[in-house]
Amino acid sequence: MGHEVHVVAYHIGSSMPLDNVRVHRIPNVPTYHKRSPGPSHQRPFLDLLVALKAMEVAGEVGFDVIDAYNHEGALVGMVVGRFMGIPVVFEAQGSLVQEMVKHGFAGYGLSPFHNVRIWTSIEKRINLLVDHIVPSSTGMARILEERFHVPSDRITVVSDGVNLDLYNPLNARPQKIMERYDLNKGPIVVYTGSLTPDKGVDYLIKAIPLVLRKRDATFLIVGDGNLPYYREMGKKLGVERSIVFTGRTPYFETPSFLNVADVAVDPKMEYEVGQSVYKVITYMAACKPIVAFDTPAHRFYLQHGFSAHLVPPGSVEALAEGIKNLLDNPRYASFLAQNAHHSAKAHSWDSKAEELVDVFHRVIGSRVG
């Protein structure tokens, strides 16, 4: 779109090759290897390094606006923005306090660093002091207005986007993936994402024996997390031979894993308000029939019987029946997949980038005015 983008990031991770995008990483911190979501005691130090690196880059090239992702990024962005006079746009993806509580880093009656009241105050200050907030859902926008009293003219909803070129569906299954995991055994059901209970993986594993009572299938579980726990769960249920756990995989291989799927599943039952539903959008872009729980977050992108098969939340039996339904009815599955793929075009990177750039122009203009 003709803009120059500079990404300031941690020392770990891989860089996506994109035109007009430069990635600047902080110095290597040998003691920090964490790639999974959630807080850690080392991250304040790393965030300080990010702030220093951002100031260095801003001094060299000059930033018109800082796009800060999540509260942690917003806090860093505010420090840099205030020091160098640069407006900050905050992409809000859920609640800071909920994230801290979920990972056991905040609660009541704990030390000052972990006290939930202190983190609530920090979250409120971040929301009120940035120049503009971009939540990914109307639910998050409502919370920002009602709970944190952010003026509506400082909020613009931009839902999650997906790289349609990266997730372009293939006519044939990638043979490399099929051979690597010995998948030439009939229909394949795929899940991509973290392997943790809050992602609903327990529901999926428990649904597998119910599906296998009526038909054969291989369940390809793509992602990292508590692998020993889920391998043991599959073993106790007697279905370990029908589950393939890939462990951590490169980001750019995700489309290949989806292209081997006959059915894609998102078993997450509760999305926190404002939390990304990116997994579902990738399934849509890859033109896969989707089974998911009937939640508000899923209904924002999917319509039951038209672009997905949605089942009652929390029901292992309904999840299993939904998977079996799509495996047994390829015409229905294809109908859902084609409609989902068409709907994904409204969530392309290009369309979402245009919406975000419009926010940047308005924020920069308000500073100049």
Which domains are present in the chain? 5-161+349-368 (3.40.50.2000), 175-346 (3.40.50.2000)
DSSP for 141-191 reads: HHHHHHTT---GGGB------B-TTTTPPPSS--HHHHHHTT--SS-EEEE
Listed in sequence order, the residues at least 6 apart from 304 whose beta carbon sits closer than 8 Å to its beta carbon are 294, 310
**In terms of Cα–Cα distance, which of 251, 241, 246, 244 is closest to 166?**
251
Q: Locate 8 and state its tokens.
A: 């300031």
The C-alpha angle with vertex 295 and arms to 106 and 168, in degrees rounded to 5, equals 100
Sheet holding 132-135, edge to edge: 66-69, 88-92, 132-135
Supply the pLDDT for residue 32.
Answer: 82
Torsion of CA 192, 288, 252, 49, to 10 degrees: -50
Q: What is the largest CA-CA distance in the chain?
A: 67
Tell me what pLDDT residue 209 has. Answer: 98
Query: Rg for the chain (alpha carbons), in Å?
Result: 22
Distance between alpha carbon 2 and the CA centroid of its chain, in Å?
A: 26
What's the first-to-final CA gap in the chain, in angstroms?
25
- Which ranges in 11-42 belong to alpha helices (H)? none
Consecutive sets of 10 residues in the chain, 369 residues long: mean pLDDT of each? Answer: 87 79 92 75 89 94 93 93 95 79 65 73 92 90 91 94 89 86 90 91 97 94 94 96 93 92 93 72 97 92 97 97 97 98 93 94 83
Rounded-to-integer distance, Cα 144 and Cα 149, Å: 6
Give the number of other CB atoms < 10 A from CB of residue 146. Answer: 9
Question: pTM, whole model, 2 decimals?
Answer: 0.83
Alpha-carbon gap, residue 26 to 29, rounded angstroms: 8
Residue with tokens 């372009």: 168
Helix, strand, or coil (residue 272): coil
- The answer to whether 205 and 233 are in contact (CB under 8 A) is yes
Q: Which two tokens stand for residue 264?
A: 């894609």
Taking alpha carbons only, the member of 225, 244, 334, 231 closest to residue 289 is 334
Residues contacting residue 164 through CB under 8 Å, at least 6 positions apart: 285, 344, 345, 348, 349
CA distance 295 to 293: 6
Residue 286 contacts residue 174 (beta carbons within 8 Å):
no
